[in-house]
Amino acid sequence: MRIFILLIILLNCLILTSCSNEAIFFSKTNTTGNTMFNYLERSHTTSQDKWIFYVDYEKESGIYAQKKNSNYNKLLISEVDPGSPISVVGNGLYYVSNNKVMRYDLKTEETIVVINEPVFYFIVVKDIIYYIPNEEDRQLYSIKTNGTDNQILVSNLHYSSYFVYDKGKIFYVDIKSRFVSLSLENFESKIISENVSPIFHIMNNKFIFSLTEGIRLLDIESNNWTTIIPRENLRKIVRFDEDTIIYSTFVDENQSLLLDTTQKYKISTNTLTDTDLDILNIYHVNVIDGIHYYYSGSPRNIKREIY
């Protein structure tokens, strides 16, 4: 009997050890390292196949892999810069450490430096990284994910401007406040609109801009502009998912700390409804399979939340 009990304990230990070191493998892989929605919201959470990858801003303890529909997770990388974005394409996990863009191989667990300088913003598409070195740099670069073939694609970016990748094109705002598309096939550029601000977001395949008239939506296929949220008494905006913007307004024109309303705007249906969601403490929503991952609280006391 004692031997039987010992065998059961040994078997359980072997099972637990196996589970705690579960290998990460994929039956299908990403083309881009994250969705554009998540990229424009710090890209702290991404996924590939049956795995979710996230940066723990709350404890600043590193990058984790978590199996979908499971509580199982494991630490992959501990040395990560605070606020680092992440991307996953194939076996490559891209992140920022010591002001450098790194590539961690999820299969071999080896790490290499891809970009040996600080980076303000980057996205990964197949085997290419598109990036802006810093907020004051007006140039957009590309580089292979093995660290070769570094080149300048755009040299006249608007100050502190993000760019968007969509269907083989880069969209950006130039120094003359023109909204421009750049084909990555023939590198021809096309001016889409003028007198715009830096890109606010891309949601539901439509571009969002924050202009003096309010938050405006541009459908580039029809070249149609729509003001979706007026500027009056606007306090805070949260891009909640691909189809939803939640915003709050002040109670009066003196910008009182008291809120008047919090409303939810749906892009696809052009509808506006009230919501009781407290967005004042919600930051950087990333969405994976319809689940919202975000951080709440103050910069010194942040908490990872799921909605």
Domain range list for the chain: 25-145, 156-231, 232-307
- Is the domain spanning 156-231 CATH 2.40.10.480? The answer is yes
Query: pTM, whole model, 2 decimals?
Result: 0.89
Structure confidence at residue 91 as a pLDDT band (50, 70, 90)? very high
How many other β-carbons are positioned within 10 Å of the β-carbon of residue 59? 9
Architecture of domain 25-145: 6 Propeller (2.120)
Residue 63's closest CA among 41, 88, 40? 88
The model's pLDDT over 94-152, given as tens digits with 9 standing for 90+, comes to 999 999 999 999 999 999 999 999 998 999 999 999 999 987 778 999 999 999 999 99
The model's pLDDT over 22-63, given as tens digits with 9 standing for 90+, comes to 889 899 999 999 999 999 999 999 999 999 999 998 887 899
